[in-house]
Amino acid sequence: MNEKESAKVPNLPKVPKDAAVALAGIIRFGSGDTSQHVWFSLGTALAWQGHKNLAIRALRRAELLGHPLAREHVEALVSVIDSYGDTAGRSLAS
């Protein structure tokens, strides 16, 4: 979502621009690679920054590590991506 679009949406959470980088650093250089919560947080931060495909990958990792909400978030993101593909005349899921 660009700045003009995000300005139109009230109560949109503000995610710091470096949040995803910080979480990736925890995963890479710390012990976050086995933490379902760090992966879930990374997926959420990436989704709010507009990186839907990367967010799905991070949330999938959180799901594999046992996070209880990761699957629901992935399903919501996939539906957004699929609806975008439908409006462009093609489906991204196929």
Question: pTM surpassing 0.85?
Answer: no
Inter-residue contact 23 to 42 (CB < 8 Å): yes
Give residue 78's domain range. Answer: 18-87
Per-residue pLDDT band at 82 (split at 50, 70, 90): confident
Domain annotation covers residue 92 = no
Q: Compute the half-sphere exposure of residue 47: CA atoms within 13 Å on the CB side of its CA.
A: 23
Domain annotation covers residue 6 = no
Show the CA angle centred on residue 17, arms to residues 11 and 20, nearest 5°: 105
Judge whether residue 13 has pLDDT over 90: no
Domain annotation covers residue 13 = no
Domain annotation covers residue 2 = no
Q: How long a stretch of residues is the chain?
A: 94
**More confident of the two residues 58 and 50:** 58
